[in-house]
C-alpha cells in the first residue's frame, strides 16, 4: 500500500468513495446530496493536508487533516477518513489513522480530536478506542442515522505528545 499527498487530479478516484459514504448518511454529517464541487472544497481545498492510500495505482482510502480550531486551539488537529468498500476489513483505516498521527506530529500538532463520531458507527468507535482515543464527550441524539434514527455523537480525543505542553 502506497500513501502520498492527494492532488486535484486524484479527486476523480476519491469522488466515488466520498459519494458512496456521504450519500449513505451513516457516518458523516455532510449533506447526503453533497455535489462533487462541494466535496472537492470539503476534502481537498479546505484541509491543511489530504492523503490517499493506493494499491496497484488505484485509490482505496483517503483522509484529510486540518486544525480543529484557530488561535488558542490550533495545536489540536481534526481528521476524517474514508475507505472504499472493496478495501474494508484489511486494516486500511488503522494504517491511515496511524499515518495521520505521524503527519500531525510532523506539522506540530499536539493532539487529535474527532468532533462528531456517530455512536452507531461501532467499527469506527472500536478502532479509535483501540488506537488510544478517549471518548471525552457525548452529544445526546445529535446524529440522525438513516436506519437507527437519532443516536449520540461522540467527541474523541488523543494527546499525541509525551511531553507536557
Chain centre to alpha carbon of residue 30? 12
Pairing state between β 149-159 and 111-118 = antiparallel
pLDDT of residue 163: 54
Tell me the C-alpha to C-alpha distance, in Å, between residue 163 and each of 35, 56, 58: 42, 39, 39
Domains recognised in the chain with CATH numbers: 2-159 (3.40.630.30)
- State pLDDT tens for residues 48-65: 999 999 999 999 999 999
Q: Is 149 helix (H, G, I), strand (E, B) or coil?
A: strand
Q: Is the pLDDT of residue 165 over 50?
A: no
- State pLDDT tens for residues 1-38: 899 999 999 999 999 999 999 999 999 999 999 999 99
Kindly report the pTM of this predicted structure: 0.94
DSSP H helical segments within 1-140, as ranges?
A: 11-24, 36-40, 92-106, 122-130
Residue 130 CA neighbour count, 13 Å, CB half: 12
Comparing CA positions, the residue from 122, 118, 115 lying closest to residue 155 is 115
Tell me if 108 sits within 8 A of 75, measured CB to CB.
Answer: yes
Pairing state between β 49-55 and 58-67 = antiparallel
Amino acid at each position: 500500500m502506497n500513501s502520498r499527498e492527494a492532488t486535484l487530479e486524484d479527486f476523480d478516484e476519491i469522488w466515488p468513495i466520498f459519494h458512496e459514504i456521504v450519500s449513505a448518511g451513516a457516518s458523516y454529517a455532510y449533506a447526503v446530496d453533497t455535489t462533487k464541487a462541494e466535496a472537492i472544497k470539503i476534502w481537498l481545498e479546505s484541509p491543511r493536508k489530504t492523503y490517499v492510500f493506493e494499491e496497484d495505482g488505484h485509490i482505496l482510502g483517503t483522509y484529510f487533516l486540518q486544525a480543529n480550531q484557530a488561535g488558542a486551539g490550533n495545536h489540536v488537529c481534526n481528521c476524517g477518513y474514508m475507505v472504499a468498500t472493496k478495501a474494508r476489513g484489511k486494516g486500511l483505516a488503522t494504517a491511515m489513522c496511524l499515518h495521520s498521527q505521524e503527519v500531525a506530529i510532523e506539522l506540530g500538532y499536539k493532539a487529535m480530536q474527532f468532533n462528531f463520531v456517530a455512536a452507531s458507527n461501532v467499527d469506527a468507535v472500536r478502532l479509535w478506542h483501540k488506537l488510544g482515543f478517549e471518548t471525552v464527550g457525548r452529544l445526546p441524539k445529535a446524529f440522525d442515522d438513516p436506519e437507527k434514527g437519532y443516536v449520540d455523537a461522540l467527541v474523541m480525543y488523543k494527546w499525541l505528545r509525551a511531553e507536557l505542553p
